[in-house]
Amino acid sequence: MLGSFGDAFRLPDLKRRILFTLGVLFIFRLGAHIPTPGVDTAAMAQLFGGSGGGVLDFLNLFSGGALQRFSIFSLGVAPYINSSIVMQLLVVIFPYLEKMQKDNTEGRKKIVQWTRYGAVLFAVVQSVGMTAWLGGLGIFSGSFFHALLVVTTLTAGSIAVMWMGEELSDHGIGNGISLLIFAGIVARIPEAIVQSWTMVRLGQLNLLVLLLGLVLMVVVVAGCILLQEGQRRLPVQYAKRVVGNKVYGGQSTFIPLKVNQAGVIPIIFASSILVFPYTVANFFSGSSVGQFVRDLFAPGSVFYTLCYIALIIFFAYFYTAVVFNPSDIANNMKKYGGFILGIRPGQPTADYITKVMERITLGGAVFLAVVALIPNFMSSVMGVRSFYFGGTAVLIVVGVALDTVHQIEAQLLMRHYDGILKKSGGKSGSLLRM
């Protein structure tokens, strides 16, 4: 892997992409430390150190600590993710939108544009909810115009984060939105280490419990890597074909079906959806209904845990269905004379691939849910109250890191073959001139 990174910096185009990615991540982390005007940051820090830390630490995880400082990037990528979820659901529900997404480039551009508009709408709703929440806690007590300034600042910050994520996807390495979440989580690791060591020194955390937590984290990392890299290989045989004087086919290969085809998307989507009702409940923080909804969707509650598991499994199947089409694979195999042993080509092959994919997706989804609930286990069973760098964060970090490394290796492989083709082209050209 280190050799791949060394080779990457020797290629000008790939080096430019990596440096662009690092530059955007630096700007993102810089913005996470710029406070929003009119908010008492000291009172915010005191709030996170109080009894409400469990919920707030969870909300703070995906913003990379920006919420704790109530910076201009406090909303992070949550509005864009919520808008993407709604748009993908609408594409599945309405055939017109599905046709737009599949048929032409202009249709996909319109869907992307509508997703951006939806992200702005979600940003406004969430920023108003957060401002009302701070007002109810007494941290923000400004006038209407001061509140309007806070809402505008948070919305503009969310739009800036959305733009940075799209620029990373277009001109950088990896998925932009996932990289921003990755950067926010990784940036909190030093703080988590210092806080854990301080708690051990003060006697608030048993050293044996800490070591057990570290061992559990190593096991989770290993499990996440196996989950991300695990695949079921379906053997495929290609029949021999005679075209002129040449014989094609006759070889055996396989179709790699990933156990976790959706990656970290189910956890990100499920977390973002469950945070939204809590944000909306802040509009009614003084009423019994608002307090009931906030308690209902508080991380760690029974209802929240059940919804979290159900949403993770749902989005694992949903996103797999979006990105993986067994019918296309079966048709391509039939076109080139390929078949799975014991299965007829065409629709029976598509049905068989779908059946296998449903089974392995269930295993991957259940494992995702188990990993995501590890922080709750650490908090309730082992008594580790500040274990916010838990299963969800580890899975996102491992998944994004592996995806980024694979993309760098793919870029290196593509340029390596380009170099071979250029060299062979030059030799053939010289032979022709001779």
What distance in Å separates the CA atoms of residue 345 and residue 351, rounded to the nearest whole number? 10
* pTM greater than 0.75: no
| Tokens found for residue 138 | 């007494």
Residue 307 has phi, psi (to 5 degrees) of -65, -40
How far from 360 is each of 9, 191, 347, 365, CA to CA, in Å?
A: 38, 37, 20, 9
pLDDT category of residue 417 using cuts at 50, 70 and 90 = very low
Candidates 349, 88, 340, 360; CA nearest to 236 is 340
| Tokens found for residue 232 | 């079921």
Residue 193 CB coordination number (10 Å): 11
pLDDT category of residue 145 using cuts at 50, 70 and 90 = confident
Q: What is the pLDDT of residue 432?
A: 31
What distance in Å separates the CA atoms of residue 386 and residue 89, rounded to the nearest whole number? 35
Q: What is the pLDDT of residue 431?
A: 30
CA geometry: angle at 376 spanning 372 and 378, to 5°?
110
Per-residue pLDDT of 31-60, as tens digits, reads: 888 888 777 767 776 666 554 444 555 566
Q: What is the pLDDT of residue 116?
A: 92
Which is it for the CA torsion 312, 170, 78, 42, positive or negative?
positive
Give the burial class of 135: count Cβ atoms within 10 A of its Cβ; 0-12 exposed, 13-18 middle, 19 or more buried. middle
For residues 379 and 305, is the Cβ–Cβ distance under 8 A? no
What distance in Å separates the CA atoms of residue 142 and residue 140, rounded to the nearest whole number? 6
Is the pLDDT at 83 greater than 80? The verdict is yes
Query: Strands 252-258 and 231-238: what pairing?
Result: antiparallel
Give the three-state DSSP class for 175: coil
Domains of the chain: 2-433 (1.10.3370.10)
Count CA atoms closer than 13 A to 125's CA, side-chain side: 18
Is the pLDDT at 408 greater than 60? The verdict is yes
Q: What is the pLDDT of residue 424?
A: 42
For residues 54 and 298, is the Cβ–Cβ distance under 8 A? yes
For residues 164 and 145, is the Cβ–Cβ distance under 8 A? no
Is the pLDDT at 423 greater than 60? The verdict is no
For residues 164 and 175, is the Cβ–Cβ distance under 8 A? no
Q: What is the pLDDT of residue 386?
A: 47
- Highest mean pLDDT (candidates 123-127, 216-220, 266-270, 280-284): 123-127
Q: What is the pLDDT of residue 250?
A: 61
**What would the mean pLDDT of 337-353 be, rounded to a whole number?**
83
86-100, 242-256, 276-290, 407-421: range with lowest mean pLDDT: 407-421
Q: How far is CA 106 from the centre of its chain?
A: 26
Q: Say which residue, 26 or 236, is predicted with more confidence.
A: 26
Helices and strands counted in the chain (H then E): 19, 5
**What would the mean pLDDT of 161-178 be, rounded to a whole number?**
86
| Tokens found for residue 393 | 């964060």
Which positions ≥6 away from 38 have C-beta within 8 Å?
140, 142, 146, 149, 150
Q: Say which residue, 83 or 104, is predicted with more confidence.
A: 83
Q: Say which residue, 98 or 381, is predicted with more confidence.
A: 98
Radius of gyration of the chain (CA): 25
**What would the mean pLDDT of 160-189 be, rounded to a whole number?**
85
Say what angle helices 95-103 and 78-93 make with each other, to 10 degrees: 110
Is the pLDDT at 231 greater than 80? The verdict is yes
Residue 425 has phi, psi (to 5 degrees) of -65, -40
Mean pLDDT taken over the chain:
76
Is the pLDDT at 284 greater than 70? The verdict is no
Residue 92 CB coordination number (10 Å): 14
Q: What is the pLDDT of residue 112?
A: 87
DSSP state of 283: G
Give the three-state DSSP class for 53: helix
13-22, 134-143, 385-394: range with lowest mean pLDDT: 385-394
Per-residue pLDDT of 347-406, as tens digits, reads: 888 888 888 888 899 888 888 888 777 766 666 655 555 444 556 677 778 878 888 887
Per-residue pLDDT of 296-329, as tens digits, reads: 877 667 888 888 889 889 988 988 888 788 888 8
Q: Which long-range contacts (CB under 8 A, 24 or more apart) does 113-117 make?
A: 114/87, 115/80, 115/83, 115/84, 115/87, 116/80, 116/83, 116/162, 117/83
For residues 129 and 279, is the Cβ–Cβ distance under 8 A? yes
Q: Say which residue, 40 or 108, is predicted with more confidence.
A: 108
Q: What is the pLDDT of residue 415?
A: 64
